[in-house]
Structure 1
Amino acid sequence: MILDRRLLVFTDLDGSLLDHHDYDWSPAAPWLERLAAAGATVIPVTSKTRAELAGLRRQLSLADTPFVAENGAVIGLPTTWRRPDDPPADVDGLTLLTPGDDAASLADRLHRLATEQRTPVRLLSELDDAEVTELTGLPLEEAALARRREGSQPLLWDGDETGWRRFCMALERDGLTVTRGGRFHHVMGRVDKGRAVRWLAERFQALHRMRPATLGLGDGPNDIPLLTATDRAVLIRGAHGLPVTVPHGALYRTRHSGPRGWAEGLDHWLGNSLEDGG
């Protein structure tokens, strides 16, 4: 891949840049450093909440880049990505955009639909921290951050597959979107990772008067819209065991999972072509 344009790297986190089991990213650290030195922008696109991302973005040295949280339901813009007509920045200096429905209204609609279908649902936001820790392996304090939803509702389904299909049809009729992550089903308004990725690429082009080169990396079904929205894509071998089919003519499938697969994908598409200041 010859880089004659500024590069935006849109990446999923859990199971991709972060290990599915222990959330380690050390195998990807050398590539993160190379991308930063070359002037490329790494943009997390994740099912995680904004609260979860706050500390993680600092640890990954991505505090000054945009992010997409809750599968596209929340977009965060740092100062350099803002336009004068954007909403005011919050206390962290970020402009937050929430193109979908808010989490409270989603919870109400989900419970109403579950009652109509006579099938109870368990929402991540309504579990206690200990239950979230048991399900995800997150420490208690991070489990609390994962429950702080703003534009989506992850849920656990305890019924059978027929009931799930029927429930998904009810969600669709109610104007909701459902996608599958590594551990949960995620319910949102009419948003997804791909729409957020395209929006950010268009914002970059409007600000810099140039079309960026885009590379997407992900491992799960909820990453399909992300991967199909970028010029080049990397489907990282998943640790979740779910089938993932990506209709993309420039797709690389990795042999390794997690951050090792993330680095493998960058080796494939960028190799030695990334130069300082590119």
Structure 2
Amino acid sequence: MQNAPYLTPEALSTFIRTALAEDIGDGDHSSLASIPAGARNRAHLLVKGEGVLAGVELAHLIFREVDPALRVEQHLTDGVRVQHGDVAFIVEGKSQSILTAERLVLNCMQRMSAIATATAHLTSLLAGTKAKLLDTRKTTPNFRLCEKWAVLIGGGVNHRYGLFDGIILKDNHVDFAGGIRPAIDATQAYLARTGRQLSIVVETRTLAEVQQVLDTGGIDRIMLDNMAPARLREAVSLIAGRFPTEASGGITEQTIAEVASTGVDFISVGALTHSVKSLDLSLKAF
């Protein structure tokens, strides 16, 4: 399993149990009604597209939660490239249990695989630069754990997980606070007052705001938002390595290589988690 602070046994168990409760309610009546209680069978996870597989480890946990007696024979691992016709695993055991787990396994794996695929593709476009690909908080409510996990599987880097584990002073924070310096000063005072140690990223929209951050200091990274490549180069030159830099805002497959060539350290792309098309997977009896 990926080494990420949010991938705890407790968090994974809570996610799986909540998702199963949403789907099962007081019973999987389709399976209970049509399949004999003692019937046993097997099914395989069939890949029907091309991309990067993700969610296999999660599938193990889902099957175990539904029925600890289910046996999974794993053929492929998270992070491998797959094509149409590949079989990721075979699950065998009580037929009713396989059917009850089927949809949650597929929902998770299809979306996670799509995110891992997009992440791997965009990461490949950064070759030859120092830039690393970041995700964002533009995730599906109650599914962030899986989506950020998929980014890691695809070779990307997680930004902060939520509002609680890192500070990003975005444009609205800066405007509401009265400017760059007041926002940073207030944040530093807050951290001192509460005894918290959190990284501080400040979003800038202009070179003038970049200079204000440099004049103020006391932060950990400068975000360069919606800047054209030429402006990004100016900003990187102005910052001159004093703080890590992050490009953000409307970055696409067509523009990411040029953005990376400007010398930024990180590139954040919200589309990794909010605009992907699920990889076609199917759990089929055989």
TM-score range, shorter chain: under 0.3
Which has the higher Rg, Structure 1 or Structure 2? 2
| TM-score normalised by structure 2 residue count | 0.27
More helix as a share of residues? 2
